Structure 1
Amino acid sequence: MMERANLLAIGDESGASAVEFALVAPVLLMAMMGLFDLGYNVYTATLLEGAIQKAARDSTIEGSVSKTSTLDGRVTDMVRNIAPQAQLTFKRTAYASFSDVGKPEDFTDVNNDGMCDAGEPFEDANGNGVWDADQGKAGSGGARDAVLYEVKVTYPRPFPVTAIFGMSADYAMTSRTVLRNQPYNVSEKTVKVLNCP
């Protein structure tokens, strides 16, 4: 009888599933929370993209300069519907054309060192009196200007499982779009040629 009890105890597998589940559950839960975090971030990015496209289109029409805070407020409301603690920063930079976006102001490199040195002439595209590595002018620009509209969003991750891997508890993303203002008036473009300081 004792031998039979020992044989049953050795072959008894009741409770094995519970032990296996206990080993697999943490990994499964972390993977699921990682997928939820990824899905949340992708959904928020998609929502932001749509919101800034709409705001950017509305910014291209005449009289929109006085409505920038309203347009930015719409984007903020859309994002905060999904990420209530999101912090948003907005930036508009105007360029004469699409090809000028992010480009430095043109200059004559007299000494061929690749830098705008003192005394070398440059075109002051943004009118601030100094050579800039980005020729854009802050703001919504004028008629026919290409405007780069950037929105940076930062919000706490809903599933901070990424902290295990040393990642930040906050998620940050930047969304950009470039659209040309409508020709609602004659653009006043004057480019001065100055010398580098």
Structure 2
Amino acid sequence: MMVSLRQSLAKDRRGATLIEFALICPVMLLMMMGLGELLYQAYAQSILNGSIQKAARDSAIEGGASNVATIDGLVITQMAPLIKNLTNNCAPSGSTGTWCSTRKSYDTFSEVAPEPFTDTNSNGVRDPGECYTDENGNGAWDADPGLNGQGGASAVTLYTMTITYPRLFPLAGLMKLSPMQTIAASTLLKNQPYAGQTVNANVTICT
């Protein structure tokens, strides 16, 4: 009798599907949340990329430099259906969505790089006393010689928009990641020649 009962229990498959589902379901949910997070980020990034291109072209025309706040606002309007209640904050903290825009202007495309210098000791670092070309006229060597702002006619402008927003799913907490996600887009365009270009004189300094 006891042997027969054991054999009957060993053959009983009722409830096996429920147990299998209980084992697989958490893994599947995590995978689906992770995939959903990645797809949402990719979609938000594509919208931001397109918006920043349009905003950069609007900034490059005559009068664009005086309307940067309005132009930035149009980018945020494009993002609003995806990310709600974005606020302008370049030092984001907490759990609310933020955005930050920066503009750096250069005389030419070739100046979007560290100011050139004579590397006397060949260590790849500009040391005191090594001569350099002061491209932005501030009397100091700069790894980024760009000047803040849109710049004037024919200037080259690097426009960057960064957006930080709360993640969709609590997956980040389980993986010890930040609950906030950051996306950014940049574009480098030359302002239209609506006037004569003001160019900084390149001076060689050896201090």
User: What interval of TM-score do these two structures reach, taking the shorter chain for normalisation?
Assistant: 0.7 to 0.9
Aligned equivalent of 2:59: 59
Aligned equivalent of 1:87: 98
Deviations 1:68-115 (A, max 9, x none): 0001111122223201142111111111222221x1123345666655
Matches within 5 A, 1:13-32: 13-32=13-32
User: Do the aligned partners of 1:117 and 1:196 also contact (CA within 8 Å) in 2?
Assistant: no
Q: 2-side partners of 1:113 and 1:3: how far apart?
A: 83
* Contiguous gaps of at least 5 residues in structure 1: none
Q: 1-side partners of 2:122 and 2:52: how far apart?
A: 41
Secondary structure of the structure 2 residue equivalent to 1:82: coil
Aligned equivalent of 1:185: 195
Deviations 1:106-142 (A, max 9, x none): 3345666655454554332222222211121111111
TM-score, normalised to structure 2's length?
A: 0.84
Structure 1 residue 162: deviation in Å?
2.5
Moved more, 150-159 or 126-135: 126-135
Aligned equivalent of 1:138: 148
Aligned length: 196
User: Do the aligned partners of 2:136 and 2:202 also contact (CA within 8 Å) in 1?
Assistant: no
Moved more, 2-11 or 17-26: 2-11
Structure 1 residue 196: deviation in Å?
4.8
C-alpha root-mean-square deviation of aligned residues, in Å? Answer: 2.3
Structure 1 residue 26: deviation in Å?
0.3
Aligned equivalent of 2:34: 34
Structure 1 residue 144: deviation in Å?
1.4
Q: 2-side partners of 1:10 and 1:143: how far apart?
A: 84
Amino acid at match of 2:14: S
Structure 1 residue 4: deviation in Å?
6.2
Q: 2-side partners of 1:104 and 1:114: how far apart?
A: 12
Matches within 5 A, 1:102-181: 103-109=113-119, 114-118=124-128, 120-181=130-191
Structure 1 residue 38: deviation in Å?
0.6
Secondary structure of the structure 2 residue equivalent to 1:33: helix
Moved more, 22-31 or 146-155: 146-155
Amino acid at match of 2:162: K
Distance 1:23 1:137, change over 3 A: same
Amino acid at match of 1:43: Y
Q: 1-side partners of 2:156 and 2:97: how far apart?
A: 28
Distance 1:141 1:5, change over 3 A: same
| Segments ≥4 residues shifted beyond 4 Å | 1-7, 108-121
User: Do the aligned partners of 1:57 and 1:179 also contact (CA within 8 Å) in 2?
Assistant: yes
Q: 2-side partners of 1:52 and 1:68: how far apart?
A: 12
TM-score, normalised to structure 1's length?
A: 0.88
